[in-house]
Amino acid sequence: MPSSAQNSLLPKKSLLLCLTLCFLVSACDTIEDYFDDDDEGSATSGSGEIAAGATTSEATLDQGSSAGTKIYLDAFKDFSCSGNWADRDGALGLKPFSGSGSCSAVFPGKAGTYRIHAKIQTEFDGQSPYSISINGQVIKQGEYPLSSSLFCDCPKDDWRSICPDKNVTIDGGTHTLAPGDTVEFWGDDVYPCGDHGSYAKWHGITFTLVN
């Protein structure tokens, strides 16, 4: 059996142990919060691609300078568009029977040579004409491919399962760009199947630094 003197030391030891544990837990929380704060607000991914929606200043600061670095401009977040564009099946597309429209954005990257790719969303019932321009100079133009060979024979009421939209990447070639250059996407709606057609749906443009 412990002596009375030993018994009097037990509460003090317990208090000291509790204080030590509290200090260690508090220190761990502080370290964890520090690393969590570092991860928030990043505009880049592990692949070096600038995240969609990054502001011009964020993209310029974070993109680095190595070949292969990518800058992505999102159709919804980074472009200013004419009033006849809307969300159509997850892509930015023209409103029905509204005619052609355009969207423009300011290039946020450093000066260099870039490979340009546009992500579009094709449809079964029309081949919308499109063009991509840099500072008013057309660098790529053409017509969307069809998403299905059924074309106008696709059942209109069940097109989502039988002949759904398909995402396609357009290669715009290699071009020299500088900070502040104007990038423009233009498209038009067409109606070869009567009361329904294609609306130049698209998602965004990727710029891959070559040198």
Give residue-wise pLDDT tens across range 154-181: 998 999 999 999 999 999 999 999 999 9
Task: Enter the pTM of the model.
Answer: 0.70
Regarding the domain with residue range 66-209, which homologous superfamily does it belong to in the CATH classification?
Galactose-binding domain-like (2.60.120.260)
Please write down the HEC assignment for all residues of the chain: CCCHHHHHHHHHHHHHHHHHHHHHHHHHHHHHHHHHHHHCCCCECCCCEECCCCCHHHHHHHCCCCCCCEEEEECCCCCEECCCEEEECCEEEECCCCCCEEEEEECCCCCEEEEEEEEEEEECCECCEEEEEECCEEEEEEECCCCCCCHHHCCHHHHHHHCCCEEEEEEEEEEEECCCCEEEEEECCECCCCCCCECCCEEEEEEEECC
pLDDT tens digits, 170-209: 999 999 999 999 999 999 999 999 999 999 999 999 999 9
pLDDT given at position 65:
62
**pLDDT tens per residue, range 109-148:** 999 999 999 999 999 999 999 999 999 999 999 999 999 9
Give domain limits for the chain. Answer: 66-209
In this predicted structure, the answer to whether residue 51 has a pLDDT above a threshold of 70 is no
Q: Which two tokens stand for residue 82?
A: 């004419």
